[in-house]
Structure 1
Amino acid sequence: MSALDALPHGPEFRFVDEITELEGGKRALGRYTVRGDEAFLAGHFPGNPLMPGVILLEAIAQLGGVAAQSDPEIPAVEGLLLTGIRGAKILGAAVPGEVLEISATVEGRLGPMIQIGGEVKVGERVLATAKVQLAGASSAE
C-alpha cells in the first residue's frame, strides 16, 4: 500500500497524484496534474477553467496528512480532518495541463492536532501558501 492509499478521500477528491519525496512525520513533496475533466472546472469558469484556490489549500492539507501519518515513531491519528486554515494566500491559478508541485511540512503536533505549512507552485510560480491544521482522535496504542 502506498502512502497515498492512506488518504480517506475517494479518487474524485484526491488532489495529490504522486508523492515525489517523503520524510515520514516531517515533510513531503507531491504533484497533481490538472487534467481538465475535473467536475469543478465546468463551472469555474465556463470557457476559462481555473483550479479553485480552496482546492489548492486542500492539496496542501492532503499531502500534509500523508506526511504526518507516515511518522515511524508516532501512531497515526484516527479520523484526521482539515480543521483550520491560517495565513492563506492565493497568488495565482492553475489551468488544465499544468502540473502542481505541492510541498507540506509538519510544523507542530499536540496530541491529535497537527500544524502543516505548505505551498503549491507551477514551476517557479507560487500559486498558494498556507498553514493548515489537521485534527482527529488519538489512536489506540
Structure 2
Amino acid sequence: MQVALQSLPHGPSFRFLDELVTLEPGKEASARYLVRGDEGFLAAHFPGNPMMPGVLLIEAIAQLGGIVVQPALTELRLTGVRAAKVLGAAVPGDVLEIRAKIEGSLGGLVQIEGDVSGPHGLLASAKVTLSGAVPGNG
C-alpha cells in the first residue's frame, strides 16, 4: 500500500499521509499521519503554540481521496470543498486518523466525504470534489 502513497503528485514535505491503513480502490481508504513538530508550517502557526492548520486537515482528506480514485482518474486536482468543519486542533505528537470514501462520480469529477480524528476525537470533516482526466479519453 505504500506504493499508493508515492502516486500522489505532492512532494514529501506537502504529503499529509504517512501510512495507508486500509485501501479499497474506487471505494474508500484510511491512513495515518504523525504531526512530527518539525513541519515548516508549524513554525508560524502559531509561535509558542504550534498547531496544524485546519485547511491542511482538509487537504489530508483530499490527498487520501486522490489515492482512492486512482487509477480511474489521473492528473487529479482539488476543485471544491463543501460542508467543511474544523472542530479541533492537531498538535505535535498527535497521530491523525484520516478517512476518505467516494460518494459519487461523474466523468472526470468525484465527490469524496472524509474526516480526520486525533487522540481526543473528531478534528475535521469535509466533502471534497476532485477533478481529473479519464485515462484513454484524450
Equivalence map 1:32-71=2 (5 Å): 32-69=33-70
Which runs of no fewer than 5 residues in structure 1 stay unpaired?
70-74
1:77 aligns with 2:78: no
Q: Provide closer, same or farther for how the CA distance between residues 124 and 68 of structure 1 changes in structure 2, counting only shifts above 3 A.
A: farther
What is the Cα deviation at residue 77 of structure 1? Answer: 1.5
Q: TM-score, normalised by structure 1?
A: 0.93
Residue aligned with 2:69, SS = helix
Q: Deviations over 1:8-63 (max 9, x none)?
A: 00001000000000111100000000000000000000000010000000000000
Structure 2 counterpart of 1:134 = 130
Within the candidate set 96, 107, 118, 1:122 is matched to 118
Query: C-alpha separation between the residues in 2 aligned to 1:3 and 1:25?
Result: 13
1:92 aligns with 2:93: no
Structure 1 counterpart of 2:100 = 104
Q: Deviations over 1:60-102 (max 9, x none)?
A: 0000110111xxxxx5312111010000000000000000000
Query: C-alpha separation between the residues in 2 aligned to 1:17 and 1:58?
Result: 14
Q: Provide closer, same or farther for how the CA distance between residues 124 and 36 of structure 1 changes in structure 2, counting only shifts above 3 A.
A: closer
Q: Deviations over 1:80-129 (max 9, x none)?
A: 11010000000000000000000000111101101000000013510000
Q: TM-score, normalised by structure 2?
A: 0.95
Q: Which stretch of structure 1 is more off in the superposition, 123-132 or 56-65?
A: 123-132
Query: C-alpha separation between the residues in 1 aligned to 2:106 and 2:84?
Result: 22
What is the Cα deviation at residue 136 of structure 1? Answer: 1.5
After the TM superposition, list the runs of 4 or more consecutive aligned residues in structure 1 that deviate by more than 6 angstroms: none
1:19 aligns with 2:20: yes
Q: Which amino acid aligns with 1:90?
A: V
Which runs of no fewer than 5 residues in structure 2 stay unpaired?
none
RMSD (CA atoms): 1.2
Structure 2 counterpart of 1:72 = none
